[in-house]
Every structure is written in structure tokens, then in C-alpha cells.
Amino acid sequence: MIDLFCQFRDSTCQTKPGRIICYPDDLNQVMTMTALEGMRILDMTQWEAGTSCTQALAWLGADVVKVEQPIVGDPGRGRIGGSTLDREYFVMWNSNKRSVTLDLNQENGRQLLLDMLPNYDVFIENYGPGVVEKLNIGYEVMKEINPSIIYVRIKGFGTTGPYSGYKCMDMVAQAAAGAFSITGNPDGPPMRPGPTMADAGTGTQAALVVSAAYTQKLRTGEGQLIELSMQEAMTYYLRTAVSSTQYGKVPTPRTGNGSDPFMALYPCAPGGANDYVFIMAVNPRMWTAVCNVIGKPDLFDDERFKTRKDRYENREAMFEEIASWTRQHSKKDAMQMLAEAGICASQVYETNDLFTDPHLLERDFVHEVEHADHGDIKLLGWPAKMSKSQVAIQASPLLGEHTDEVMAEDLGLEQKDIDALRQEGAIGSEMIERGA
């Protein structure tokens, strides 16, 4: 945990009370600092809504210590049936973290967590309703031990209200926020969206709020309780759709892919399942450019397509005029020709395309790291580029990989003390069993 108002422990620091600005003697420290240098986080999250939050903070430079149950760990690891190999899902959401295993169901394991608490700025959990209360590690308990703790709770429906006791996962939150109702074809049923926006979206919003609360703490010395509802967080991504409800009077309809030829998927060669280009010609200039790119400049003066209203009423004919051109080209070539003409367009990428896309590779968005169990792997990175404090992407931790390290660092325990706690079952023995 950092010293109040100061990012440096150096005794020569001249920071005065009530100020955030620090002037260390060694300016090299400043040059190598990360944005959240000094922030320490006790991460008791699982699956994705919480882990996406702590991973974002780790990518900004915070020291994230993930607290997990011995043997099984975060259920996102997929350690069922005796497996000790972490799933790719876990690896994707837990880079740049350290892992310790504590049995919080044992009093001595719980006490270790509480003993660690004064060393941290933030505690984050996204367990189901009632879990932290059962473990007796709620905000009031932790605030007594560390009055400046920032305590973050991520819940499906929040901690108050008639739904607060309901369990929730990503797609449940999306259904509860209205995302299903606007996804799919007009004459079909609601459809499950593809991305896990409720999980990752809530986590990203939580990371933003934690950063703000941490900045406030640096000014005031005070922590606070933060709560996020996944249902409410998900509505942030539906604001554009909600803007057509007449302020809540009517539902937003499903439109599918074909309601507007200006925003449509067009088939490309050779006709595979994902061989499509999405074209979004949002103004008359782009419509003119589309006509020129597809080699049909006469369409601009065609009576069927004179105005936006005309083009909408004759949308099927307009779609075929454009599709007859896109079918002759690959989605990559179609995207390039359209985009270079100033038209908003993209090929439909398959998810594995992201790891080999030359644009993303040139921008260093794809990171190659070495994982202890999976070997050399590729990970997608953090989208923000920071010129002064970019953090290198690291592999996710093995279960309990840093238990001994953190026990010594936070509590000053010697190896014999750690071994005794392991014998009692308060901490896990995963790394010992690996022979590490």
C-alpha cells in the first residue's frame, strides 16, 4: 500500500500533506513508473465480471494479488475431475496477477486474509449473494481493520432491491438489461448476443470507478464502499437503443441485418459462412462513393435511389446492386477498396483472425508470452496505448504460485511459519505438489 499523498517510500521525498504531487530525488523512478504504481489490490474475484476489472487495473500497473481456494481455485480455471491445467478462458482474463491460495472456510485461513488487509488499498469481490457475509469478511469487518480500504462489490442485481438475492451470470444480466430483446430478426425470437458485454463491461466500469476512488483516497485518506449491478452496468451499452423508446414508453424493435441497406452485411467470395463485408454508408457522400467503387455511378441518379427515403423503400433492389459487386471480391479486398474510398466498412473477422491480422500485429496488440503449462501463447492486449507508462503483458499465474512470496512480503513470515500454515491447511500446497 502506498504512503498517503506519495508514490515513493524514499525518506528524501519532499511531499507535503494535502498534496498529490511528489518530487523524488531520483527522477529515474518517475520515468519507469506505471500509471497505478503503488496501488495494491486483494482480488477475490472469479469468472469474468470481477477478473476483467482486476486485469484492467493490473494492466495499468497495480499489484493484484488473487486470493483463491486451495486445489480448485477460481472456477474459471476449470479444475474439475482432478485436472490441473488452466483453461484458455482463465489465461485470457488473469494476466499480470499473482495468486495465493487461502482456505477461508478455516478460521486461520480467514485470519491470514484479514492480517494481509492493512497492506492493500482495494478489496474486490464478485461472489454470489451472501457469500462474503457467510465468511464474515464484509465491508464493516474490513473497515475496522483498514479504515482506508476501498471495498468493491460486483453483483448481478446489486445488494438492494427485490432481485438482490438472485444469482446471475453474463447472459442473465444481458437478458435483464434488454440486450436479448433488440438482438435477432424482426420476425424471430429474442437472440442471445455473442460478446460477454455484461461481464467485461461491468468489470471495465468497476476499474474506472476504482481508479477514481483511489485518486480520491490520495486526497482525503479515506476509502469507501463501491457496488456495481451487472444489470445496470449492461444498460450503459444499450443507451443508443434505449434512445428510441420515447423515454421508456415503447420498446425498441429488433432489426436483424437487413432493415437498412446503408448498414448491412453483404456476401463476398468465396461464399463461406463468414465471408461478408459490413458496409455503413452514413451520408450522401459515402453513398456516392459506394456507387463509384462498385462501378455503378449511374445509381446515384437512378430514380429508385434518389433520396434516402427512396433508397429505403427500394432497399431490396439496392441491396442486390451492391451485393452483385461484393460477391465478386473477397471480404478483405472489398473492405480495402471501400475503406480507401472513405466508406465505413469492415470485413467480418473470425475470432482467430485477430491473432494474425497485420494491422493488429503492427500495433503490438497481440502479445506472445510464455506460460508455465501452455508454453508459448498469444494474448490480446489492453486497447489503451500510454506513452509514459505502458505495462508489459505477462502470463496468468499458476494456482498458488505466489503464496509463499506474498506471505513473506505482507506478513513477514519465515518459511517454517509458512510450512506450518500449509500443514494446518490454511494455505494451499499446489506448488509443492508440482515440485516447484
Question: What's the pLDDT score for residue 307?
Answer: 84
Residue 243 in any domain: the answer is: no
> Which domain-ending residue is among 354, 382, 397?
354
Query: Do 303 and 340 share a domain, yes or no?
Result: yes
Residue 3 in any domain: the answer is: no
What is the rounded average pLDDT of the residues 21-49?
Answer: 77
pLDDT value at 405 more than 70: yes
Query: Do 218 and 270 share a domain, yes or no?
Result: no
Question: Percentage of the chain surpassing pLDDT 70?
Answer: 92
DSSP 8-state code for residue 61 = T
> Which domain-ending residue is among 292, 325, 354?
354
Residue 223 in any domain: the answer is: yes
pLDDT value at 72 more than 60: yes
Tell me how far apart the alpha carbons of residues 173 and 229 are, in angstroms, rounded to a whole number.
Answer: 9
Residue 250 in any domain: the answer is: no
Residue 215 in any domain: the answer is: yes
Residue indicated by cell numbers 470485413? 347
- Please name every residue paired with 378 in a beta bridge, in sequence order, or none if there are none: 368
Query: Do 194 and 45 share a domain, yes or no?
Result: yes
Ordered strands of the 276-280 beta sheet: 263-267, 276-280, 344-347
Query: Do 338 and 201 share a domain, yes or no?
Result: no
Tell me how far apart the alpha carbons of residues 427 and 425 are, in angstroms, rounded to a whole number.
Answer: 5
Tell me how far apart the alpha carbons of residues 327 and 276 are, in angstroms, rounded to a whole number.
Answer: 9
CA 313 to chain centre: 41
Query: Do 104 and 202 share a domain, yes or no?
Result: yes
Amino acid at 11: S
Query: Could you tell me the CATH number of the domain that includes residue 292?
Result: 3.30.1540.10
Query: Do 348 and 221 share a domain, yes or no?
Result: no
Give the contacts of 256 (CB within 8 A, at least 6 positions apart). Answer: 184, 185, 186, 188
Query: Could you tell me the CATH number of the domain that includes residue 426?
Result: 3.40.50.10540
**For the segment 225-267, what is each residue's pLDDT rounded down to a tens digit?**
999 999 999 999 999 999 988 888 899 998 888 667 788 999 9
Query: Do 349 and 380 share a domain, yes or no?
Result: no
CA dihedral 25, 29, 31, 37 (to 10 degrees): -130
Question: What's the pLDDT score for residue 257?
Answer: 82
Residue 365 in any domain: the answer is: no
**For the segment 305-362, what is each residue's pLDDT rounded down to a tens digit?**
888 888 888 989 999 999 999 999 999 999 999 999 999 999 999 999 999 999 999 9
Total structural domains in the chain?
A: 2
Question: What's the pLDDT score for residue 430?
Answer: 81
Residue-number span of the structural domain to which 105 is assigned: 34-237+371-434
Query: Do 396 and 317 share a domain, yes or no?
Result: no
Query: Do 267 and 175 share a domain, yes or no?
Result: no
Tell me how far apart the alpha carbons of residues 201 and 197 are, in angstroms, rounded to a whole number.
Answer: 5
Query: Do 83 and 142 share a domain, yes or no?
Result: yes
Query: Do 350 and 377 share a domain, yes or no?
Result: no
Catalytic residue among 199, 275, 404, 410: 199
Tell me how far apart the alpha carbons of residues 245 and 314 are, in angstroms, rounded to a whole number.
Answer: 26
Within 83-229, residue ranges assigned H as helices are 88-93, 107-116, 131-135, 139-145, 170-177, 197-220
Query: Do 93 and 176 share a domain, yes or no?
Result: yes
Residue 319 in any domain: the answer is: yes
**For the segment 266-296, what is each residue's pLDDT rounded down to a tens digit?**
999 999 999 999 999 988 899 999 999 999 9
Contact between 227 and 210 (Cβ < 8 Å):
no
Catalytic residue status for 199: yes
Tell me how far apart the alpha carbons of residues 94 and 96 are, in angstroms, rounded to a whole number.
Answer: 7
Residue 225 in any domain: the answer is: yes
Question: What's the pLDDT score for residue 46?
Answer: 96
